[in-house]
């Protein structure tokens, strides 16, 4: 039982390049989330998926797209990376059937540097 896994762990991009961050969970959770973490800013929600087939914008969605590929996988895509997207990205999942008392399980993070 690996929990939440993310790939890659580290990535360096040039401005304008695109990439997809992958996330998978093996806990049979229905809800998944993408956050970014910047120094002094805490965790900010980019997008979330309450259940398979649905996605919704969070606090800071501009410049990102997401795909809920199936129940296990939730990917985050940067179509044209910008230096402002340099950050640590965390994927998380939760069992929404426990709402409002479900907790979130986080992956190890992807550290992205955009030059």
Partner 1 sequence: GQQVMQIPQYQHVQEGEDFTTYCNSSTTLSNIQWYKQRPGGHPVFLIQLVKSGEVKKQKRLTFQFGEAKKNSSLHITATQTTDVGTYFCAGRRNSGGSNYKLTFGKGTLLTVNP
- Would you tell me which residues interact with partner 1 (CB under 8 A)? 31, 35, 40-45, 48, 50, 58-59, 90, 94, 96, 99-101, 103-109
Q: Taking the complex as a whole, how short is the minimal distance between the CB of residue 14 and partner 1, in angstroms? A: 25
Which CB, 14 or 100, lies closer to partner 1? 100
SS (H, E, C) the chain: CCCEEEECCEEEECCCCCEEEEEEECCCCCEEEEEEEECCCEEEEEEEECCCCCCEECCCCCCCEEEECCCCEEEEEECCCCHHHCEEEEEEEECHHHCCCCCCEECCCEEEEEC
Q: Taking the complex as a whole, how short is the minimal distance between the CB of residue 18 and partner 1, in angstroms? A: 25
Q: Are 5 and 69 in contact (CB under 8 A)?
A: no
Which CB, 72 or 106, lies closer to partner 1? 106
Which CB, 29 or 81, lies closer to partner 1? 29
Q: Taking the complex as a whole, how short is the minimal distance between the CB of residue 16 and partner 1, in angstroms? A: 29
Q: Taking the complex as a whole, how short is the minimal distance between the CB of residue 94 and partner 1, in angstroms? A: 8
Which CB, 14 or 103, lies closer to partner 1? 103
């Amino acid at each position: 039982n690996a929990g939440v896994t993310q790939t890659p762990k580290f990535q360096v991009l040039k401005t304008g390049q695109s990439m997809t961050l992958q996330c998978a969970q093996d806990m049979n959770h229905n809800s998944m989330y993408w956050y970014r973490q910047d120094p002094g800013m805490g965790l900010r929600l980019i997008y979330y998926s309450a259940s398979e087939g649905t996605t919704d914008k969070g606090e800071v969605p501009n410049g990102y797209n997401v795909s809920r590929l199936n129940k296990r996988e939730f990917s985050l895509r940067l179509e044209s990376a910008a230096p402002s997207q340099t950050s640590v990205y965390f994927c998380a999942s939760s069992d929404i059937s426990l709402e409002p008392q479900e907790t979130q399980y986080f992956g190890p993070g992807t550290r992205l540097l955009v030059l």
